[in-house]
Chains A and B, each alone.
Chain A
C-alpha cells in the first residue's frame, strides 16, 4: 500500500483479534477504536496529546491514540483498556484503584490504568517520585493524584511480595 490515497484498507490486531477496516487517512486511532470498533473505553479529552485520556498500547508501548493515525497502525498490535481488563492482566491494579478511591468521575481512569500498567512489570520497582513522573502526562481533574499514586504503589508492592 504505497499509493497516495485519502482512504486505505488496514489490517491490525486489536486486543488479540484481527481487524480489517477501510479508514480515511485522517482518522486518528482514538476515533477508529471508538467510532469504527465501538471500543469506547478509550476516552478523548483534548485531542492534542496533553491529557492522556486516550492512552493505549501499540506493540506494547504506551501511546497517545489521538496523535497516532489509524492508517499508521497497519500490521500493529493495539491493546485498549477493554483488552487488559478482559484478560485480567491488571485486575489487581483496578481493585487497588477501587479500594483507594483513585477514581471519582472515572474519565481519566482508562488512560491512567493503561499508563500505569507498563510499570507493573518493570525490573526495578519505581518509587513514588518515579510513579508520579511516569503518570505526569495523564491529567485527572478529580482525585488530586495522591490516591492514584497510592494505588499504583500498593499494586507494585503486592506484586513484588508475591514474586518473592
Chain B
C-alpha cells in the first residue's frame, strides 16, 4: 500500500503548471489529493511526476463576476461550506457538500478536483450539470471555457486535455425564481451514493420551467434525465418517473442492483419534484 516512486514539483502559476504538464508524458496534477493519493497508495495510478497546484496564488477564491459565481480550482469543500457567497449564490452546492465524504476529507478535497476527476458517483459533477455551469480550462495557449453539457466525455474522462488544467468553475447566480433541490441514497453517512439527484428549475406561475435533473451513480458520468425534465415541465410527476426508464441505464454494482437503482431513482425524483414545487409557491 505504498505508492510507486514519482517525482514532484510545485507549480508557481497556472502557466508553469501547464508548461510542466506539456513537458511530461505521464504527469498528474495533485490538488487536495483525496482521490489521487488513495489511488497512488493502491498503485491504481503510478505517474512519473506529480505537479502540485496548491501553492498557485489566486486559485482559492470565491467571487461574483459578470453574473456568475466563480469558484477557483483550489476552493476546498470546507471553505465553500463556510462561504456566504456560496450559500447565497449557489445554495445547491451548499446543500450537497455535507453529503461529500467526511469532515477530514472535506478540509482538503477541492470542488475543482472533484469536477476534473469526474467520478460517476460524486456530488459536485452532478451539481455542475444541474446548474448549467461553465468550466474554465487553461492550456499553453491560454484559457477556454466549456459548457458543462459538453464537459463529461466518458468514465473519468472530461474535456480537459492532457496538457490542460481546470482553473475555475463558473455558476449562474441564484435568483428569486430559481429553485434547487438535492437528494441521495447512500448506505452510510459519507459514503458515495447508490443513487443521487441534483436539480434546478425556474418557477413559472404554478409550474416549473427550465428543469434540469442531473443524476449521479447511475452511469459513466453525471447524466441528465431529459425525458423526465420534459414531463416535470408539463406538471406530470408520475410521467417523469416513468420517463426515467428511457433516460437512465445504470449497471448494478456491489452496492445496489440495476433494479434497486432504478427504483431509488424514481423515489428520489418524487422527493426532489415535491421540493422544487413546494419552494415555488
Chain A residues at the B interface, C-beta cutoff of 8 Å? 1-6, 8, 24-26, 28, 31, 47-49, 52, 55, 61-64, 66-69, 71-72, 115, 118, 132-134, 136-138
- A4→B34 contact, CB < 8 A: no
Contact B103 A4 (CB under 8 A): no
**Residues of B that sit less than 8 Å from A by CB:** 1-12, 16, 20, 24, 30, 33-34, 37-38, 40-42, 49-50, 52, 54, 78, 98, 101-105, 107-108, 188-190
A28 pairs with B108, CB closer than 8 A: no
Chain A: minimal CB distance from B168 (Å): 22
Contact A49 B34 (CB under 8 A): yes
Give the CA-CA distance A41 to B6 in the complex, in Å: 28
If A49-B38, A63-B104 touch, whether A2 touches B189 (CB-CB below 8 Å) is no
Indicate if the CB atoms of B10 and A115 lie closer than 8 Å. no
| Chain A minimum-CB-distance residue to B23 | A4
Q: Please pick, from B12, B41, B98, B190, the residue contacting A47 in the complex, using a CB distance under 8 A.
A: B41
Query: How many pairs of A and B residues are in contact by the CB < 8 Å rule?
Result: 105
Does B104 contact A52, Cβ atoms closer than 8 Å?
yes
Which of B5, B11, B16 lies in contact with A26, CB distance below 8 A?
B5
B41 touches A134 (CB 8 A): no
Pair A68/B33 contact, Cβ less than 8 Å: yes
Taking CB atoms, residues of chain A closer than 8 Å to B11 are 2
Closest residue on chain B to residue A137 by CB atoms: B102
A6 touches B37 (CB 8 A): no
A61 to chain B, nearest CB (A): 4
Q: Give the residues in chain A near B2, CB-CB below 8 Å.
A: 26, 31
* A137-B8 contact given A26-B40, A63-B107, CB 8 Å threshold: no
Q: A4-B20, A26-B3 are in contact. Are A67 and B190 (CB under 8 A)?
A: no
Q: Is the CB of B1 within 8 A of A69?
A: no
> In the complex, A69→B6 CA distance in Å?
12
Which 10 A-B pairs rank lowest in CB-CB distance, beginning with the nearest? A137-B102, A25-B8, A4-B9, A48-B38, A61-B107, A47-B1, A26-B3, A62-B104, A136-B189, A67-B37
